[in-house]
Each structure stands twice: as structure tokens, then as C-alpha cells.
A and B are shown apart, each in its own frame.
Chain A
Amino acid sequence: MNVPTEHLLALASILFALGVAGFLVRRNVIIVLASVELMLNAANLCFLAGSRAWAAEGAAGGHPIQGPVFALFVILVAAAEAAIGLALIIAIYRLKRTTALDATRDLEG
């Protein structure tokens, strides 16, 4: 059984849209951060789908190895980003005793 590339792209797009929706709608910083991770993983899935399509027979001229390598870089950077993000969340929790985004409203205008 072979899943067509279009289906994988559709799945990745749905994941990405869910991530965007979560980012815009949810008000808890940790959930918002998780939504960003969902978007990153949508990108990873898309990279792997593209790589598989270009590795298939008859698809000349592409670089199938670049997709998985990029996905590895994304995972790496996502880890670094999560480290900084969680540090910032701890810093704001120390000051405000909450992780709700609505509480961070000192800067307005």
C-alpha cells in the first residue's frame, strides 16, 4: 500500500492549520508553545513527504536527502527554542504567578 504524496501534504496542511488555530485561540502560554511545535512537525512531515516523492523512481533532478536533513535541523532548533521558551515562561511565572497570556498586559498601545 502506497500513500500518495498529495494525501501526506493534505495531512501536513491540516496539522499546520490546527497549529495556527491553536496559536491564535488558546490563551495559556504552554498550549501556545505546543501549537508552535505542531506547526513545526507539520513542516517536518512535509519535508519527508517531499523527499519520498523525489526519491521515487522516475523523479530525476531532485535532492531527496535534503528533506530529512532539514527535518533533523528543525528538530534540533525546536529543542533549543523550547529551552528558551520554557525559561521565559518560568521567568514570567515567577513575576506573575500565572501562565495565562492575558496576565501579560503591561505593554499596551
Chain B
Amino acid sequence: MSDLKTLFDSIFTASASLATAPILALGVGLLLLLLCDIVTPLRPARGLAFVGTLVVAAILQARVLFANSAPGLVLDGTFLADPTTALFGLSFLVGSLLAWLYASGYYDEERVLATEHDVLFLAAPAGMILMVGAADLLVFFVGLELLSLPLYALAAFRRSRADSVEAGLKYFLLGAFSSAMFLFGSALLYTAAGSLSLSAIAEHGLASRTALAGIALVTSGVFFKASIFPFHMWVPDVYQGSPTPVTALMATGTKAAIFGFLVVQLMPLLPPSAAPMIAVLAIVTMFLGNFGALVQSNVKRMLAYSGVAHAGTLLLVVPGFLAGADPAAASRAALFYLVAYLFTGTGAFGLLALLEADGERFTSLDSLKGLAKRRPAIAAAMTLFLLSLGGIPATGGFLGKWFVFSVLVEAGWTGTAILGVLFSVVALGYYLRVIVAMYMEEALEGEAAPTTNRTGATAATAVCVVGVLATGLLPALLLGPLGS
């Protein structure tokens, strides 16, 4: 008995509870939310319970960030909590809140399931935090599924619409396929190294064929979720078919979580000889994303392709790291890029959610024509987000790209960095086309979007605008806690 107690005490230490408190808070809040739905008098408090849970979780996550000494590896070395993962965690919570604000009032016929929607929205960030902190393949797998399963359901949330259900089914099938690849890879790595801990696997090395096949499958599974070529085909369909606020969460939060794991945990495991191959995958992803976006006439689908291109750009930090760039600089660049993209992408998709009515009727380029005259504030905010996506200075998107490319230059891969910058110029082409349509073209007859206005969406847009400008003008605000 005393042995068991010693073991228990050695695993569940004070720093372990500090590190896992945000996830536990999300779990408790999720149960409370379900309770609110059952107990009729509590029903009006559902929104409060949702926001309250996220705020409490954010405060607990900030405690990790500002703790005198970061908890580090806890729970028997399976979960990492340091300033980097804490910043990632905070960004997931903010991203979920923003996407949820855009979702309020978005659905019409499915209002009955409002609580289910919110519960799924709370489970996703818990999975994301678990993924970024995972120092162990099992913990990552649990986090991945905790994130993916709610998103499958959310993607198909407009059940009466064929495109939404089809997006959910596609996302589910390909997600399950990539999970299975990841799992078989984990099993091979475990067979080779005898442990699920990433540090033990790194120590064991990748000398054997089993281990090499394992790391290849694990990386493929991760690339699938991150929408890297050749696993990017599902993204435009799923992003277009899903309800737009859910797309916002998928495009920003999921991408941040998967890249967070890739950069913080998985990158040190990859063999340096893989750098050229990953660089080629990144370049091809950027190519397909950018040129796919160029030919789209639907803005939502265009933003989905642009998301693919952004994933390609961000992936460039991995070869930069493998080729010898400073690891801290690489993870800082990725974190900054993802936080900037979180505000930008959520804002852009969110505004589309606000503009569209009756499904996707108003997400085409034609229906955005003349928007600046009809709704100047929305057009101005959209312009800012598009410029940030395109990487124009004074926005967070510019600095994110700058950091990523400077990691490459530091590693001596100047040519690849120049190629990346050229693709960014191509990207400006399709972002500017939307701005031109909004400001310089006349509205088509009968194509004008209705002038819906929602408090939640306005608040979320304000936060996104501030976020884009703050990351662009005051990067020290974000990078300060990391210590440069």
C-alpha cells in the first residue's frame, strides 16, 4: 500500500497539477455545460458557462506561463508544460472563443442542438493542449482524437445540408485513415525502442528499418492532419463544406496544434537527412496551395487553398531546424506564425460567416463586389486580414513569414527562402483580387448580401483586428514571455 502511495505521490506532484489544470478545467466545464442543458432553470446560463470555462482555463494556462519555474516534464515524463506550450495553449483557448463567438447566431434550423455544439467546441481545445504538451506517443494520440472526434461531428453539424454532411464524412474517413497510419507508425517505433516516450525513442535512434518505417508513418499521419502534400487533397472540400465558424477553428486551431506538436516534440526526432525531402514537400505544398487559390471564384474555397499554402510555408521551419538553425528560434518562429495566423484566419473565415446567409450563397467573389460601400467596417477589417495573410508589413502575417524565412537563411538555405518569398508574391495576387472586388467594383444586381449584424461576431472581429495589429507592431508582447 505504501509503495503505491509513494508511486502516486511521485507522479501526481504539485507541478503536475499546475500543468494539467487547464485541461481539467475544460473537462469540468464541459460536464457543467451538459448539466446546464438538463436542468431547465440553468439553461439561460449556458453561454456564461461556456465563456466562463474558457476564461478559467486561460487563467490556469497563464499561471503556467508566468510561474517562477515552469513545471517542465510532468506525469512520469509524458506531458511537457513550459512557456512555449503554455503560449500555444493560450492561443488555442483564445481561438476557440473567437470561433465560438462567430458561431453564435450562425446556425438557424439547428438551434436545438446548441448545447451539443458548445460541448464539442470545449472538447477541441482540451485535445489541442494535450497534443502540444505530449512528450509521449500515447498522450499525443489521446489529444489528437479528443480534438478530431468533436471536429468530425462539428463539420457535419448542418445535418440537413448535403455539403456539410459530406465534408464531415470526408474529414472523418481521411482523419481515421491518418490516425491509423500514425498508430501503426507508433507501434513500429514502440517495437523498435521498447518505449512510447519520444525522448527514449530519440535516444534509441532510428538505426533499424522498423524504427525508420515507424517514424515515416508517424510523420505521414501528422502531415495528413497538417495538410502537407501529398495529403492535402481533402482540405478544400472539408473547409468549404463545413459550417464557416467550424472551418475557422479547423484552419487555425487544428493547424496550430498539429504544428505545435511537430515543432516542439517531433522535430528533434527526425533524421537530418530528411531535411531536403521535407523542404521539397513544403515547396510543393506552397505551389499547390497558391496556384489552387488563384483559380477559385469562391472566397471560402480560396481561403482553404491559402490555408494549404500557409501550412507549406510554416513547414519550412522544419528543414531549417534540421539543417542546423537555432532550435529556440525555429520554435519561436513557428509559434509566432501560428498565433498571427490564428487571428488572421479566424477573422477572415469569421467575417465570411457573418456575410453569408442561407449556407454559402454569399461567399462568391461576385457577391463581395462593392462591399466597401455597403458595409465599410467589414470591408476594412477583411482587407486587413487579407493583407496579413498576404504578408504585408505592419501585420502579424508579415512578421510570421519574416521569422520563418530568417530561420531558413540562418541555416544557409537562402535559395529556398527566396522561393518561399516568390510564392508569397503569387499569393498577393488572389488576396488583392478580393480587395479590388470589395473596393473598386460595383455590386451586381440581386447579389448583395443581407446586412446581418451580430454582437458576438463584432466583438470577435475587434479582437482579431487588435491581434493582427498587435502581433505586427508589437511582436515583443508575444515573444517576451519566451525570453529572447
Contacts and interface: CB of A to CB of B under 8 A. Distances in A.
A53 B142 CA distance: 25
Interface string A53-92: 1100001011110110110011001001100110111011
A19 to B, nearest CB: 7
B152 interface: yes
A73 B142 contact: yes
B141 A73 contact: yes
B82 interface: no
Contact of B186 (A53, A59, A64, A70): A70
B180 A77 contact: no
B180 A88 contact: no
Interface centre among B165, B177, B241 (most CB of A within 10 A): B165
Contacts of B196: 63, 66, 70
Given A80-B149, A88-B169, A91-B165, A47 B190 contact: yes
A23 B241 CA distance: 22
Nearest to A54: B194
B104 interface: no
Interface stretch (B155-163, B313-321, B382-390): B155-163
B21 interface: no
B188 A85 contact: no
A18 interface: no
A85 B184 CA distance: 20
Contacts of B141: 70, 73-74, 77
Interface string B138-150: 1001100100010
B135 to A, nearest CB: 14
Nearest to A6: B210
Nearest to A36: B176
A40 B180 contact: yes
B170 interface: yes
Interface residues of B, number: 45
B352 to A, nearest CB: 16
Given A69-B138, A81-B149, A46 B301 contact: no
Interface in A93-109: 95-96, 104, 106-109
A50 B165 contact: no
Contact of B149 (A69, A84, A96): A84
A47 B187 contact: yes
Contacts of A5: 191
B229 to A, nearest CB: 17
Contacts of B163: 106-107
A36 B181 CA distance: 10
B462 interface: no
Contacts of A73: 138, 141-142
Nearest to B163: A106
A47 B191 CA distance: 7
B156 A61 contact: no
Given A36-B176, A43-B180, A91-B156, A62 B194 contact: yes
A47 B241 CA distance: 37
A50 B168 CA distance: 35
A103 B241 CA distance: 15
Contacts of B410: none
Interface in B416-468: none
B159 A91 contact: yes
Contacts of A96: 162
B169 A107 contact: no
A10 B377 CA distance: 62
Contacts of A108: 237
Interface in B164-218: 165-170, 172-173, 176-177, 179-181, 183-184, 186-188, 190-196, 210
10 contacts: A12-B184, A19-B180, A23-B173, A42-B184, A43-B184, A47-B190, A66-B190, A70-B186, A95-B162, A106-B241
Interface of B: 137-138, 141-142, 145, 149, 152-153, 156, 159-160, 162-163, 165-170, 172-173, 176-177, 179-181, 183-184, 186-188, 190-196, 210, 236-237, 240-241, 296, 301
